[in-house]
Amino acid sequence: MRKLTVFNHVSLDGYFTDRDNAIGWVHVAEDDPEWTAFTKQNVSGDGELVFGRKTYDMMASFWPTPAATREQPEIAAAMNGRSKVVFSRALDRVDWSNSRRVHGDPVAEIAKLKEQPGPDLVILGSGSIIARIAAHELIDRYQIVVNPVVLGAGRSMFEGAARKIDLRQTGSRAFRNGKVLLAYEPA
């Protein structure tokens, strides 16, 4: 069975987007060689990426561009080369390389994906999907990066979650730039 990992950034006050639904604040304090190496290693895996429409639109507007290739060539190559599943009822098609659109209910569709052969699954961003599937015990691992910033308002990654979800910590790692990776699994 394939494993599903959530990898997301949150602010110190617990938001994964700011009040304008933006995430540019996650790129603050990135001038840390250890953080850069971690990011490159983390994105170079072979997991199939899972996105909701908003995250897909944001990612697809940057990673296939010449600017992404120029600024972050290794990460751009990995993002463009990996398989991607996009949950959307609004999009008619998805054009980013190796992407396919899924119309169905994320709970049922992710359960099916986990049963199929293939690489593990990784959700980046996509808080509305996370909130919907977390209560159904479909997420095997959480990797949450706490960023040294307070946003004051925004959206919680678990906004609208159907029930309490108990987790146990499996690891942590502090970076010199102030970011802290927290790893959890369902309890």
Q: How confident is the model at residue 72 (pLDDT cuts 50, 70, 90)?
A: confident
Domain parsing of the chain, residue ranges: 1-6+37-120+130-143
**What is the predicted pLDDT for the residue at 127?**
85
Q: How confident is the model at residue 15 (pLDDT cuts 50, 70, 90)?
A: very high
Question: Mind listing the pLDDT tens digit for each residue in 127-143?
Answer: 889 988 998 989 999 99
**What is the predicted pLDDT for the residue at 21?**
87
In a 13 Å sphere around the CA of 2, the CA atoms on its Cβ side amount to 19
- The answer as to CATH 3.40.50.1100 being correct for domain 1-6+37-120+130-143 is no
Q: At what angle do helices 33-43 and 73-81 cross, to 10 degrees?
A: 20
The residue assigned the tokens 């980046």 is 124
Q: How confident is the model at residue 163 (pLDDT cuts 50, 70, 90)?
A: confident
Q: What is the mean predicted confidence (pLDDT) over 143-163?
A: 91
Distance of CA 109 to the CA centre of its chain: 17
